[in-house]
Amino acid sequence: MIKLLSIAINDLRVMFADRGIWVQIVAIPVAIAFFIGLANGGFGAGDPVPLLIDIFDNDSGELAAQFLTDLRATDSNLVLCPADADLCRLDGSELTEEQAQTRLTDGITSAIIEIPAGFSTQALAGDSTAIIYRSEEGLGQTSAVLSAVQAVVQRVSGAVVAANVGVNVFENSGPDFRFADDADQAAFEKAIYDRATVIWTALPPAVQYSESARQQTSGFSQSIPGIATMYVMANVLVGAIILITERKQWTLQRLIMMPVSRGQVIGGKMLARFVTGMIQYAVLFAFGFMLGVRYGDSPLAILLVMVVFTLCATAMSLLLATIVTTDQQAGAILNLVILTLAPLGGAWWPLEIMPQWMQVVGHISPIAWAMEGFQTVIFHGGGVQDVIPPMLVLLAITAVCFIIAVRRFKYE
């Protein structure tokens, strides 16, 4: 273990002996994160992107109306069609289900919401009913619209349940007390519903994030984690070139002729890369903090994403080292890998602004999963639990790279 640490420390010493490293891990990444952040809206809010939703209200009841009002209230950028006619890009034509489906596939709308006939009466009677929500998003993808819908559904149904409980309590409370008539009962239910709604809305609104998401995705809070993740990948993958250099200058061979195990050598080298990656994250996130970027409420979740992604990059660098043989070759592959995986994974711009199919393809890039983790925490106020699914994907990639690399790794 001491030898492993010594190897890692020595690697870092060699790296920092070169003054150019500061340009590589501080100056350039900071400049790029700054300019990309600026180009995407910088300090202020970018132009909010309207989020179109096609609504089929087959119920037209009181609760359905309530639901739509509540939904609209969550985010000023939500456009409910066909109600908000001029923003709906419908060209005056009637909205059919078929058309809605096409609009959804083409990415014009974010979702289709269908409120079934009888929704209000069934819900108020305490029967189960459901709002149908359709979108093109993959499972596990956090969408502002879906979260808003869920939050509102919860609120509305919570209030309905509360109203029903109130009525039941009332009916069972004694033989002497009866509603004068049905209107009386309805009025009573309404009163409880309203009260419950007040209570629910008094809770911290669950959809708060969607505002901040609109405001920040286009600025530094996108570019800092994006560019940081890209440079972490670059500076960790460079480990493959370092290994080739060490073979060329015979220091690797010298190590092997010493009483040091293969595991200690590989472990030490990987630890050094890992630390480099974490330093890179620290540098850019600190810079972002100075620019006023805030990283959500869970520093632990942010740290988890950083650690897992850096691990993943480290395993990739080991794999790369087993594939390449010359440093020119390594340099070329490195550039190719980074210049593909970074934009694909949403390091340069948010993946959400890309066409749907690009968003899907983009998830072959580990960067996409890291960005998903960061966005969950930074934009959606997520915590450790919320970043676990994308982190599991990254850990799986890590394991696969590592296992292949260790099998392929040859000293000779």
Partner 1 sequence: METLVEARGLVKNFKRKDGTEVQAVKGVNLDIQKGEIFSLLGPNGAGKTTTISMISGLLTPTSGDARIGGFSITKQPMEAKRLMGVVPQEIALYPTLSARQNLNFFGRMYGMGGAELNKRIDEVLDLIDLKDRQKDKVDTFSGGMKRRVNIGVGLLHRPQLIYMDEPTVGIDPQNRRRILDTVLRLRDEYKMTVLYTTHLMEESQELSDRVGIIDHGEIIAMGTVGELIQQVGEEDQLVLKIGEQTIDTSLIERIPKEIQGVTRAAFEPPGETGDQTSGEVIVYAKRGRKALPHLIQIANEAALEIMSVEVREPDLEAVFLHMTGRALRD
- For residues 172 and 390, give the distance between their C-alpha atoms in angstroms, rounded to a whole number: 49
Nearest to partner 1 of 6, 168 (CB atom): 6
Least separation, in Å, of the C-beta of 26 and partner 1?
Answer: 19
Query: Do 272 and 236 form a contact (C-beta atoms < 8 A)?
Result: no
Please report whether residue 356 would count as binding partner 1 according to CB under 8 A: no
- Considering only 168, 251, 335, 385, the residue that binds partner 1 (CB under 8 A) is 251
- Considering only 76, 261, 335, 340, the residue that binds partner 1 (CB under 8 A) is 261
What is the biggest distance separating any 2 CA atoms in the chain, rounded to whole angstroms? 97
Please report whether residue 357 would count as binding partner 1 according to CB under 8 A: no
Query: Do 138 and 160 form a contact (C-beta atoms < 8 A)?
Result: no
- Considering only 96, 249, 328, 340, the residue that binds partner 1 (CB under 8 A) is 249
Please report whether residue 254 would count as binding partner 1 according to CB under 8 A: yes
User: Of the ranges 8-16, 111-119, 176-184, 361-369, which one interacts with partner 1 (CB under 8 A)?
Assistant: 8-16
Nearest to partner 1 of 98, 412 (CB atom): 412
Please report whether residue 139 would count as binding partner 1 according to CB under 8 A: no
Please report whether residue 408 would count as binding partner 1 according to CB under 8 A: no
User: Of the ranges 54-62, 257-265, 341-349, 384-392, which one interacts with partner 1 (CB under 8 A)?
Assistant: 257-265
- For residues 24 and 235, give the distance between their C-alpha atoms in angstroms, rounded to a whole number: 8
User: Of the ranges 13-21, 66-74, 207-215, 297-305, which one interacts with partner 1 (CB under 8 A)?
Assistant: 13-21
- Considering only 253, 322, 329, 356, the residue that binds partner 1 (CB under 8 A) is 253
User: Of the ranges 11-19, 45-53, 287-295, 328-336, which one interacts with partner 1 (CB under 8 A)?
Assistant: 11-19
- Considering only 35, 43, 250, 357, the residue that binds partner 1 (CB under 8 A) is 250
- State the virtual CA torsion across 342, 366, 378, 207 in degrees, nearest 10: 110
Footprint (CB under 8 A) of partner 1, residues 269-298: none
User: Of the ranges 187-195, 217-225, 251-259, 376-384, which one interacts with partner 1 (CB under 8 A)?
Assistant: 251-259
Nearest to partner 1 of 260, 338 (CB atom): 260
Count residues near partner 1 (CB under 8 A).
23
Cβ neighbours of 145 (radius 10 Å)? 24
- For residues 305 and 281, give the distance between their C-alpha atoms in angstroms, rounded to a whole number: 11
Least separation, in Å, of the C-beta of 247 and partner 1?
Answer: 10
* Tokens representing residue 119 in the block: 């929704």
Least separation, in Å, of the C-beta of 18 and partner 1?
Answer: 6
Please report whether residue 21 would count as binding partner 1 according to CB under 8 A: no
CA dihedral sign, ordered 13, 14, 19, 24: negative
- Considering only 27, 83, 87, 258, the residue that binds partner 1 (CB under 8 A) is 258
Query: Do 408 and 397 form a contact (C-beta atoms < 8 A)?
Result: no
- Considering only 108, 146, 260, 278, the residue that binds partner 1 (CB under 8 A) is 260
Least separation, in Å, of the C-beta of 8 and partner 1?
Answer: 11
Nearest to partner 1 of 17, 203 (CB atom): 17
Footprint (CB under 8 A) of partner 1, residues 80-119: none
Question: What is the binding site for partner 1 (CB under 8 A)?
Answer: 2-3, 6-7, 10, 13-14, 17-18, 249-251, 253-261, 411-412
